């Protein structure tokens, strides 16, 4: 069971009490601006039940971001292994996050993302972590840049799971960070 602490957050495994937050993040049009769907309560509950029934590989839990002060859950984050061959090789590890809109622009996604990178490289001993987003999702791209990830100009692709009815959402860009580069960034930050 993965639990990660940051100065302001605790990232903990998902539990039944997070069902309402999952629905909120699955139906809010602002949060889902770059997704081709909004989930009904019934659909969100069904997906939540599936998530709860799957035993994740160690380190690949769906984590809930909770505020240390007050304990309120504000979003989800985690490391996962997307199934996107041939665009990404098998066993590629992706970092992602989704926060309630009322908690945007407070640095929580960057704080959680940085902590997950540390966990991935130090605890899980991963060689690389990637992140992907719709090409013009500037909020997500800014988080990727703030946590030290770099654009892979040749890594972009049209996401196969995005329906043709949403052509503006098909093209995704890819950001990468290797363990070597992450360790170099940490040494530089410690010198500064």
**Which pLDDT value is given to residue 40?**
86
End-to-end CA distance of the chain: 34
- Tens-digit pLDDT string for the chain (192 aa): 789 999 999 999 999 999 999 999 999 999 988 888 888 889 888 888 888 777 678 888 889 999 999 999 999 999 999 999 999 999 999 999 999 999 999 999 999 999 999 999 999 999 999 999 999 999 999 999 999 999 999 999 999 999 888 889 999 999 999 999 999 999 998 887
**Which pLDDT value is given to residue 189?**
87
Residue 34: partners with Cβ closer than 8 Å, 6 or more residues away? 133, 134, 137, 140, 169
* Burial tier of 182 (Cβ tally within 10 Å: 0-12, 13-18, 19+): buried
Query: Would you kindly state where each structural domain of the chain is located, as residue ranges?
Result: 4-191
Looking at domain 4-191, which of 3.20.10.10, 3.40.50.300, 3.40.630.30, 3.20.20.70 is its CATH number? 3.40.630.30
DSSP state of 162: S
Helix (H, G, I), strand (E, B), or coil: what is residue 132? strand
**Which pLDDT value is given to residue 144?**
97
Helices and strands: H and E segment counts in the chain: 5, 9
**Which pLDDT value is given to residue 131?**
98
């Amino acid at each position: 069971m993965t639990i990660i602490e940051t100065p302001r957050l605790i990232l903990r495994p998902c539990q039944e009490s997070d069902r309402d937050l999952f629905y909120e993040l699955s139906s809010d049009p602002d949060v889902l601006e770059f997704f081709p769907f909004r989930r009904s309560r019934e659909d969100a509950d069904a997906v939540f039940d599936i998530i709860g029934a799957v035993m994740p590989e160690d380190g690949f839990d769906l984590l809930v971001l909770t505020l240390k002060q007050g304990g309120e859950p504000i979003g989800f984050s985690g490391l996962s292994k997307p199934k996107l061959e041939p665009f990404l090789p098998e066993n590629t590890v992706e970092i992602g996050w989704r926060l309630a809109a009322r908690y945007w622009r407070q640095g929580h996604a960057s704080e959680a993302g940085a902590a997950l990178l540390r966990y991935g490289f130090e605890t899980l001993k991963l060689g690389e972590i990637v992140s992907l987003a719709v090409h013009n999702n500037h909020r997500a791209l800014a988080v990727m840049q703030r946590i030290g990830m770099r654009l892979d100009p040749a890594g972009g692709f049209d996401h196969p799971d995005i329906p043709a009815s949403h052509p503006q959402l098909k093209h995704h860009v890819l950001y990468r960070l290797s363990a070597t580069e992450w360790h170099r960034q940490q040494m530089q930050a410690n010198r500064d």
